[in-house]
Amino acid sequence: MEGLADDVLRDVLTRAGGYDCCVTEFVRVSATVLPHSAFVRVSPELRRSSRTRAGTPVRIQFLGSDPALLAANAAHLARLHPAGIDLNFGCPTPLINRNRGGAALLDEPELLHRIAAAVRAAVPAAIPVTAKMRLGISDAAKAIDCALALEAGGIQELAVHARTKDDGYRPPARWEWIAAIRQAVRLPVVANGEVWTLADYQNIRAATGCDDVMLGRGAVADPLLARRIRADAPDDAGADWTAVAGMIMDFWTQVQAKVLPAQAPGRLKQWLGLMRRSYAQADELFMALRELRLAHEVTPLLHRHLAAGTR
């Protein structure tokens, strides 16, 4: 979700409703204690009691491998009163993994324990410390060991993405491993992986026994998915397009205020590229915008397409 699930998209999605909390893109902790400005840049919500405009709590996610350095950054961040600190042991990106970050640490349960314990000890008890992990690097042989190590380190909630690092995002997600991890630990486990629809949400809960589910790419592909899950309402992409069109315009307005005019179209196309999975109208809009490079070219075309699609 790096480069996509920033504060703008978090704002748009959480105002649609349905979310208990959300997590930032990761903050890379690698060499020094970062200034407060670095945390606020990733999570401007820190200026609003660590909540989106809709009131949804936002946890700040750390990625790194040095327990002492992660703890020092956590202690510094704690002064800004974040809604929580989340530890990333799930990122499968090769560049991150080559630098000993994300899922690359899943062969070292003892290191995961030291990181969790150091961060937990560094921040006040009122600030939740959570983690997200995958099943392993190439197999799930150490998945339960990693989960137990994080639990022993003091984390209060564990999200499990049901693939290994080497699996990337290729289906299927192995939900049965989430069930095994949930049986092995006493802390709350959040299920994650291949949830694109209300039916997927119902199926992952049944397969894992988890009360809670984390949405990733599914929430981006269908911006109303969390609201639909909360209402237990069937998918109706055609009827929902009017609401989604308003969200797209809101997103476009905010993105233009945040990034350079030459960068804004890429952000919009990135979101529409995933939304094509759920909405035929998004596919049509993506194809119409695909060759445009500047914001002033995009705006009139966007207005025409969205107006036509909602009549």
Give me the active site residues, please.
Answer: 91
Beta-bridged to residue 130, according to DSSP, are 86
- DSSP label at residue 168: T
Distance from CA of residue 45 to its chain's centroid? 15
Q: Which two tokens stand for residue 72?
A: 């020092």
Q: How far is 110 from 159, CA to CA, in rounded Å?
A: 19
Cβ pair 282, 272 in contact under 8 A: yes
Tokens (6 digits) for 103: 């899922």
- Non-local (6+) Cβ contacts of 180 within 8 A are 143, 144
Residue 183 DSSP class: H
* Residue 105 CB burial class (10 angstroms; 0-12, 13-18, ≥19): buried
- φ, ψ (nearest 5 deg) of residue 179: -60, -40
The answer to whether residues 229 and 204 touch, using CB atoms and an 8 Å cutoff, is: no
Q: Which amino acid is at 138?
A: S
